[in-house]
Structures are given as C-alpha cells and as structure tokens.
Amino acid sequence: MKLEYGTKSLEYDGSGTASATKVTLVNSNGAILPILLPADKISLSNTELFELALEALYQENFPQRAEKEKFNQVEAQLKQNKEMATKVEQATVENKENLYAVSTITEVLIALAVSQNGGMPTHAYGKVAAFIKPLVTSTRYSNGDIIAMPYPFDTNPKW
C-alpha cells in the first residue's frame, strides 16, 4: 500500500483552541488514513508533514522498529570488529613467529662469523658488532652468549 500526502488541517478541541494537526494520507485505491500530529506542525511543508506522518504511523504500528534497527546495526559493527580483531591477532602471532625465526637465524650467523678461524676482517667485525645486541647491565650472561660492548680502553684510563 503506497501512501501519498493528501491534506492537512487543524483539529480544535471543545474550548476552540487548536489541539492537533491532522495530516491525511491517501492511496490510489481511495483509502484515507488520518494521522494526528502536534498543533504547531501545521506550518511545516507538505513533504515534512508527510515524513512526520509516516514516522508516526511506523511508531504506532512498529514501536520497536528504531531500536531493532539500531541493535542490528550495532550487532553488525560488533561482528565486523570481532573479525578484524581476529585477523589482527592472527597477524600478530605470525609476526612474532617470523621475528623469532629471523632472530634465531641471525644469532646462528653471528655465532658462525665470530667463531671463524684466524679471526674476522676488521670491516666485517665492525658490521657484526654493530648488529649484535648491546650489553645490558641488568642481564646476567653465560658462556655462549654473544653481545657487543664498548672497548674498555676508551672509557677506562687504567687500560
């Protein structure tokens, strides 16, 4: 049933004051549907009155429509956010695995470079020393740990 705007008029109560704006909605089959709006709405355009009348009709027949639409919209957004969070979490796990693999390979390569017989060329040693993790005072190191530390002669006059 396709409704169209019909007419508008003011409704008066027993004391003669305007009590409501009556908007009449009609269709091509001759059906007439009166909708009562607040009296101050009479000055609105026909299009605005038509939209207000349809909204009043929907609210009367489907009072939970707006809430349902909002909840559906929120549920869709939550579902989308959960999917994105799952993807981000999966990417984070993959990145951690890749970082661990690269770190392990790097440590093996550094161990190979440091343990070369006959020593390492000076330029290669400089590159390896720049890449190795620096010495941290709060960490206890054991045999086999490879770290880079400053040459003590530069900072200690006793050397």
pLDDT in the model for residue 154: 61
pLDDT digits (tens, 9 = 90+) for 146-158: 777 766 666 666 6
For residue 66, pLDDT over 80 is answered with no
Residue 25, pLDDT > 70, answer yes
Locus of tokens 């693999």: 101
pLDDT value of position 118: 67
Side-chain half-sphere CA neighbours of 50 within 13 A: 12
Q: How far is C-alpha 34 from the geometric centre of its chain's CA atoms? A: 45
CA 151 from chain centre, in angstroms, equals 50
Q: How far apart are CA 125 and CA 114, in angstroms?
A: 8
Distance CA 79, CA 156 (A): 62
69/106 Cα distance (integer angstroms): 55
User: What's the rounded Cα separation, in Å, for the pair 8 and 42?
Assistant: 7
Mean pLDDT for the stretch of residues 19-31: 91
pLDDT band at 73 (very low <50, low <70, confident <90, very high): very high
Is residue 64 over pLDDT 70? yes
Contact 103, 109 (CB under 8 A): no
Angle CA(154)–CA(157)–CA(159) in degrees, nearest 5? Answer: 80
- Domain regions of the chain by residue span: 4-63, 89-159
CA distances from 156 to 11, 33, 66, 77, 152 (A): 100, 98, 76, 62, 6
Highest mean pLDDT among 21-25, 65-69, 115-119, 141-145: 21-25
Residue 125 CA from chain centroid, whole number = 47
